[in-house]
Amino acid sequence: MSYRSTRSSEQQSVSFEEAIITGLATDGGLFIPAEIPKLDDSFLKEWSQLSFQELAFKIMRLYIKESEISDDELKSLIIKSYSTFRSKDVTPLVPIDSNKNLYLLELFHGPTYAFKDVALQFVGNLFEFFLTRKNAAKKEGEPRDIITVVGATSGDTGSAAIYGLRNKKDVSVFILYPTGRVSPLQERQMTTVLDDNIHTLSVNGTFDDCQDLVKKVFGDKEFNDKYHVGAVNSINWARILAQMTYYFYAYFQLLKQLPESERSSFKVKFIVPSGNFGDILAGFYAKEMGLPVEELVVATNENDILDRFLHSGKYDKAQVKETYSPAMDICVSSNFERFLWYMIKRTSGSNDNLRTGEILSQYMRDLASNGVFEVSPETLKLAQGSLDSSRVSNEDTVKTIREIYTKTSNHYILDPHTAVGVATALRKIASDGNDLNLKYISLSTAHPAKFSEVVNQALSEFEGYSFEKDVLPDELKKLSSMQTKIKLVEQVDLKVVESLIVSELEKEGKK
Ligand SMILES: *Cc1c(COP(=O)(O)O)cnc(C)c1O
303: left (phi over 0), alpha (psi -120 to 50) or beta: beta
What value does the mean pLDDT take over residues 47-69?
Answer: 98
Lowest-confidence segment of 23-27, 125-129, 422-426, 437-441 by average pLDDT:
23-27
- The residue from 65, 75, 88, 116 that is catalytic is 116
Count the neighbouring beta carbons within 10 Å of the beta carbon of residue 456: 15
pLDDT at position 155 over 80: no
Quick check: CB of 329 below 6 Å from ligand 1? no
What percent of the chain lies above the pLDDT cut of 70? 99
336, 4 contact by CB (below 8 A): no
For ligand 1, mutation pick of 104, 120, 279 (most atoms within 8 Å of CB): 279
Nearest CA to ligand 1 atom 14: 327
Q: Model's pTM, two decimal places?
A: 0.96
The Å distance, Cα 240 to ligand 1 centre, comes to 12
- Mean pLDDT over all residues of the chain? 94
- Among 333, 323, 320, 228, smallest CA distance to 280 is for 333
User: How many whole angstroms separate alpha carbon 143 and alpha carbon 474?
Assistant: 44
Give the Cα-Cα-Cα angle 130, 68, 129 (nearest 5 degrees). 20
| Cβ burial, residue 98 (10 Å; 0-12/13-18/19+) | exposed
232, 165 contact by CB (below 8 A): yes
pLDDT at position 511 over 80: no
Report the pLDDT value the prediction gives residue 100, as an integer from 0 to 100.
66
Report the pLDDT value the prediction gives residue 488, as an integer from 0 to 100.
96
What percent of the chain lies above the pLDDT cut of 90? 84
More confident residue, 28 or 61: 61
Quick check: CB of 77 below 6 Å from ligand 1? no
Quick check: CB of 116 below 6 Å from ligand 1? yes
Give the Cα-Cα-Cα angle 40, 43, 48 (nearest 5 degrees). 160
- Separation of first and last alpha carbons in the chain: 35
Q: Could you read off the pLDDT of 357-405 as tens digits, one per residue?
A: 999 999 999 999 999 999 999 999 999 999 999 999 999 999 999 999 9
User: How many whole angstroms separate alpha carbon 162 and alpha carbon 156?
Assistant: 10
What value does the mean pLDDT take over residues 397-419?
Answer: 97
108, 445 contact by CB (below 8 A): yes
What value does the mean pLDDT take over residues 311-317?
Answer: 96
What value does the mean pLDDT take over residues 145-170?
Answer: 92
The model's confidence at residue 11, banded by pLDDT at 50, 70 and 90, is confident
Burial 459-486 (b: 16+ CB within 10 A, else e): beeeeebeeeebbbeeebeebeeeeeee
Closest approach atom of ligand 1 to CA 446: 13
Quick check: CB of 332 below 6 Å from ligand 1? no
Report the pLDDT value the prediction gives residue 211, as an integer from 0 to 100.
87
For ligand 1, mutation pick of 237, 277, 417, 450 (most atoms within 8 Å of CB): 417
The Å distance, Cα 391 to ligand 1 centre, comes to 15
pLDDT at position 95 over 90: yes
Burial 32-63 (b: 16+ CB within 10 A, else e): bbeebeebeeeebeebeeeebbbbbbebbbeb
445, 301 contact by CB (below 8 A): no
Quick check: CB of 303 below 6 Å from ligand 1? no
More confident residue, 262 or 251: 251
Report the pLDDT value the prediction gives residue 222, as an integer from 0 to 100.
94
pLDDT at position 43 over 90: yes
User: How many whole angstroms separate alpha carbon 92 and alpha carbon 382?
Assistant: 32
Report the pLDDT value the prediction gives residue 435, as an integer from 0 to 100.
84
What value does the mean pLDDT take over residues 305-331?
Answer: 94
For ligand 1, mutation pick of 105, 115, 123 (most atoms within 8 Å of CB): 115
β-pairing verdict for 31-33 and 93-97: unpaired
Q: Could you read off the pLDDT of 222-245 as tens digits, one per residue?
A: 999 899 998 888 899 999 999 999
User: How many whole angstroms separate alpha carbon 356 and alpha carbon 379?
Assistant: 12
Report the pLDDT value the prediction gives residue 141, as an integer from 0 to 100.
87
Long-range contacts of 465-474 (CB under 8 A, 24+ apart): 465/405, 465/411, 470/411, 470/413, 471/413, 473/113, 473/447, 473/449
Q: Which residues make beta-bridge pairs with 439?
A: 268
What value does the mean pLDDT take over residues 308-320?
Answer: 95
Count of CA atoms in the C-beta half-sphere (13 A) of 120: 28
pLDDT at position 143 over 90: no
Report the pLDDT value the prediction gives residue 183, as an integer from 0 to 100.
85
Q: Could you read off the pLDDT of 334-362 as tens digits, one per residue?
A: 999 999 999 999 998 777 898 999 999 99
Burial 280-303 (b: 16+ CB within 10 A, else e): bbbbbbbbebebebebbbbbbbbb
pLDDT at position 436 over 90: no
Report the pLDDT value the prediction gives residue 23, as an integer from 0 to 100.
87
Is 3.40.50.1100 the CATH number for 93-111+238-331+387-458? Answer: yes
- Among 20, 9, 7, 11, smallest CA distance to 68 is for 20
Closest approach atom of ligand 1 to CA 330: 8
Closest approach atom of ligand 1 to CA 272: 9
